[in-house]
Amino acid sequence: MPENRLSPPESVDVPLRGAGWLPHGYHLDPHTHPHGQLVYAAAGVLATTTERGTWVAPANRVTWTPPGFAHSHRFYGRTDARLLSVPPELCGELTDRPSVFAVGPLLREAVLVLTDRPETRPGAHARLLAVVMDELAETPEQSLHLPEPRDDRLRAVTDLLHADPAHPATLAGLGRAAGASERTLSRLFHTELGMSFHRWRTTLRVHHALAHLTGGLSVTDTAMVCGWSNPSSFIEAFTEVVGQTPGRYQAELRGR
């Protein structure tokens, strides 16, 4: 694949399709599209952020952003990034909110062809895009979604955790720093974010773990850096969230 860089859009009126190798930490500022957009990291890790939170997609996931959603992207590890636009008339076939879908072999190859090869026969890309949409419509969402709060007290807590995901503080301790009781914060995590404090912090740590593993850090060192007391508990949590062990994830990265 050519060593080119994707141009960061602001607010665009034409569909985007492209591919490029992006360096670790590359960031696309918030922007919108009148069409839907699929972004796939064939190697590396992609994080897509909207007002509703952050979605992370390793190389076995693809992110979906419907038309009109302001969003930004950040890439972790040297990333083989694939951008694919979806015409507005086809967007109704997918969910009307940002999401992440699993990537099977057929979907992966179709996205690679659409973003890497010129169209040699009229209508070939449209036909292949229809295959992509059919695959996505039959694929369950596997969202590594980290929702963000609106309540100021809850945001104070999540900001502290974002700054140091490995911090071992309890919810009661974080509440004292944020000026809210443990009971209030626990209720807010469930009502605003739809998950427990433990689940939210685990997902945050897994997001960071994906970036570290992609960068080549060992499973043991990643567990320690991200706040797990031992590799076994990290492997269990990572497998539950991502759907494969961290060792398998790194092996697939090397294979790609």
For tokens 């991200």, the residue is 226
User: Could you give the CA distance from residue 38 to residue 62 in angstroms, rounded to a whole number?
Assistant: 7
pLDDT tens digits along 153-208? 999 999 999 999 998 889 999 999 889 999 999 999 999 999 999 999 999 999 99
pLDDT band (50, 70, 90) for residue 10: very low
Please list, in sequence order, all residues whose beta carbon lies within 8 angstroms of the beta carbon of residue 85, skipping any fewer than 6 positions away.
15, 16, 17, 33, 35, 36, 37, 38
Residue 41 CA, chain-centre distance (Å), reads 10
Average the pLDDT over 60-74 and give the result. Answer: 91
Task: Say if CB 31 and CB 12 are below 8 A apart.
Answer: yes
Give 21's strand partners: 80
pLDDT band at 108 (very low <50, low <70, confident <90, very high): very high
Q: For 199-245, write each residue's pLDDT tens digit.
A: 999 999 999 999 899 888 999 999 999 999 999 999 999 998 888 89
Per cent of the chain over pLDDT 90 is: 52
DSSP three-state, residue 140: coil
- Mean model confidence pLDDT for the chain: 86
Paired with 18 in beta bridges are 83
Domains of the chain in sequence order: 17-145 (2.60.120.280), 146-255 (1.10.10.60)
**pTM score:** 0.76
Q: What pLDDT does 3 receive?
A: 34
